[in-house]
Structure 1
Amino acid sequence: MSSLSFHYLSMAVHSMIQKNFMEQVKSSGLTSGQPKVLDYLRDHNGANQKEIAAACHIEPGSLTSVLNRMEEKGLIERRMLDGNRRTFYIFMTDEGSRLKDLVEDNFASIEKKAFRNISSEEQAAFMETFSKIYENLMNKGDTTHE
């Protein structure tokens, strides 16, 4: 294999994952942005929009559009808690939960395909390194070079 740069490979892999995933869930009617919101709500049902936007790396304005479409499809509902009219909390509906299971199954299928012919030791090493890269990039204030 030719020597490809990190940025090219990371963009290409992300694009292929998105393409594979959206092909697999096409019949569900899910659109871009919605699967990762459902995936986040799996462990954070009842999160507010600010938390979802940060965790899913979606701009707040874009998230509002995603959530509006999800609400129209009956995947989520917005609720006020404790009389707080300024903050809505997002909860999955039964239909959202059903599609969340579909999302989870398809993510697992793609991960299995991606790691085919790669030993569990290599997978663990890759995930450890990839997690460090993620942490390095999330640490926006740190511009030092080691």
Structure 2
Amino acid sequence: MASREEVLELIESFKNLHPQHVVEKAQFEQRGMNFVVKYLAKNGGTTYTFELANVMGISTARVSNLINKLEQKGFVERKIAENDARKTILILTERGKEYHEEMEEKYFMMMSKMIDVIGKEEILQFIQTFGKMQTFFESHIDNQEKEDKHD
């Protein structure tokens, strides 16, 4: 089995290839709920709903839909901000913290298995190659947009 250091190194390498605009194309609802739980866990367990909307690049109405689902599952609670009744604070519950830990462990185990099956060096080579491809395509798109503006 891959060592913890190998898995953490691979996770960090993948994070560098996982920009927000790529993530947004994933299945919205499940990815969105997982994102909210992870965001809360990584940011002290609380945030404002408008902040989530900004970070996720979606409307507050869509954030509200996600929060409703997370509340139904018992992962979060809403609270009105004491200093401004127009603002809603989102709080990660104990059940939400447990869910986050389970998600992290499943992700860790999946990455560990991938290292065992494919091999760390081959995965790192793929990440490096994919990064070059991504940079190329982003540069090409930027250049194409600039050319289109001049036409």
Structure that is richer in helix per residue = 2
Closer/same/farther in 2, CA of residues 117 and 100 from structure 1, 3 Å limit? same
Could you tell me which residue of structure 2 aligns to residue 65 of structure 1? 65
Structure 1 position 115, deviation (Å): 4.0
Could you tell me which residue of structure 2 aligns to residue 80 of structure 1? 80
Closer/same/farther in 2, CA of residues 120 and 36 from structure 1, 3 Å limit? same
- Give distance in 1, aligned partners of 2:130 and 2:143: 19
Which amino acid in structure 2 is aligned with residue 35 of structure 1?
Answer: N
Q: Determine helix, strand or coil for the equivalent of 1:47.
A: strand
- Give distance in 2, aligned partners of 1:50 and 1:105: 29
Could you tell me which residue of structure 1 aligns to residue 38 of structure 2? 39
Closer/same/farther in 2, CA of residues 107 and 84 from structure 1, 3 Å limit? same
Task: Select between 108-117 and 34-43 the one with higher mean Cα deviation.
Answer: 108-117
- Give distance in 2, aligned partners of 1:130 and 1:80: 44
| Cα-Cα RMSD | 3.6
Q: Determine helix, strand or coil for the equivalent of 2:117.
A: coil
- Give distance in 2, aligned partners of 1:84 and 1:67: 20
Could you tell me which residue of structure 1 aligns to residue 14 of structure 2? none
TM-score (norm 1): 0.57
Relative contact order (C-alpha < 8 Å, sep 6+): which is higher? 2
* Structure 1: gaps (5+ residues): 1-9, 19-30
Kindly name which structure, 1 or 2, has the bigger radius of gyration based on alpha carbons. Answer: 2
The count of residues paired between Structure 1 and Structure 2 equals: 115
Q: Check conservation: 1:40, 1:56, Cα contact below 8 A.
A: no
Structure 1 position 43, deviation (Å): 0.4
What does 1:96-115 correspond to in 2, within 5 Å? 96-115=96-115
Could you tell me which residue of structure 1 aligns to residue 143 of structure 2? 144
* Structure 2: gaps (5+ residues): 1-21, 145-151
Q: Deviations over 1:86-128 (max 9, x none)?
A: 2212111111111111111122223334444344344445556
TM-score (norm 2): 0.55
Which amino acid in structure 1 is aligned with residue 92 of structure 2?
Answer: M
